[in-house]
């Protein structure tokens, strides 16, 4: 799973899974663009990569804004000459009962979690199409629907993640003639800041762990290793797929 001479953009990379995606891909040889809403935080990840002997660039980007996404891709090409890999990882999750959810909260979640993926995928794919190769990896969630498990208080988040899975299938078909592969990763409970509200509620946390066959929360690096596999030629015949990584949650 060698990514030498490959150029990867990771959104939402200042912390959590995005950070470990950046570190793992850099360790595999990729030149990495670390992108998020805080350039200062992104720069810290860049320094980690450089200390390990890798190459990286920090770029501030709000994925819900087309002009910022286009600028991110432009700067990537100016710095590294191309785009080989896009990891759409930026996302937000706000716990709110459906009957109290505002239109603004719905819009903000869909703008970042779904429209942001569209904008980034389109901008990156335009560059990938020029070289007739590329990989797009979309990070969704087991809360994407059609899995037989409902998730209360995050209906807007669930809708966005379900949209990602559907978009992935459509993009895989449309971009295949350009030799661009598109896949989704659907993590379960992973040790990131996003699950902090759950961890604070001991009863809820215990109930969640009880339904996990592996009886533990996943590590960000475990998801990043799957990102590496899908980004590499080791997965050259995989496209349009949603790969679940959840410690057996859905199976249980």
Q: Give the catalytic positions in this structure.
A: 157
Give the separation between CA 202 and CA 198, rounded to whole angstroms. Answer: 8
Give the separation between CA 175 and CA 202, rounded to whole angstroms. Answer: 45
Beta bridge partners of 236: none
Q: What is the DSSP string of the chain?
A: ---TT-EEEESS-SSHHHHHHHHHHHHTT-EEEEEES-HHHHHHHHHHHHHTT--EEEEE--TT-HHHHHHHHHHHHHHHS---EEEE---------GGG--HHHHHHHHIIIIIHHHHHHHHHHHHHHHHT-EEEEEE--GGGSSSS---TT-HHHHHHHHHHHHHHHHHHHHHGGGTEEEEEEEE-SBSSGGGHHHHHSHHHHHHHHHT-TT-SPBPHHHHHHHHHHHHSGGGTT--S-EEEESTTTTT-
């Amino acid at each position: 799973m060698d990514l030498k001479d490959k150029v990867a953009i990771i959104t939402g990379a200042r912390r959590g899974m995005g950070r470990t995606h950046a570190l793992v891909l850099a360790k595999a040889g990729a030149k990495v663009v670390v992108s998020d809403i805080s350039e200062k935080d992104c720069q810290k990840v860049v320094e980690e990569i450089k200390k390990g002997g890798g190459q990286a660039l920090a770029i501030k980007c709000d994925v819900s804004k087309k002009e910022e996404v286009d600028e991110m891709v432009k700067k990537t090409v100016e710095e590294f000459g191309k785009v080989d890999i896009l990891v759409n990882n930026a996302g937000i999750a706000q716990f709110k009962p459906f009957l109290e959810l505002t239109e603004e909260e719905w819009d903000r979640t869909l703008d970042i979690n779904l429209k942001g993926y569209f904008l980034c995928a389109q901008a990156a794919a335009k560059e990938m199409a020029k070289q007739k190769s590329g990989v797009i990896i979309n990070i969704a969630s087991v809360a994407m629907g059609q899995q037989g498990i409902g998730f209360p208080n995050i209906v807007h988040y669930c809708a966005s993640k379900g949209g990602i899975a559907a978009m992935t299938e459509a993009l895989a078909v449309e971009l295949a003639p350009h030799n661009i592969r598109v896949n989704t990763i659907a993590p379960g409970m992973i040790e990131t800041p996003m699950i902090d509200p759950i961890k604070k509620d001991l009863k809820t946390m215990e109930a969640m762990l009880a339904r996990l066959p592996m009886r533990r929360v996943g590590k960000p690096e475990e998801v990043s290793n799957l990102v590496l596999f899908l980004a590499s030629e080791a997965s050259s015949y995989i496209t349009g797929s949603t790969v679940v990584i959840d410690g057996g949650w859905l199976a249980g």
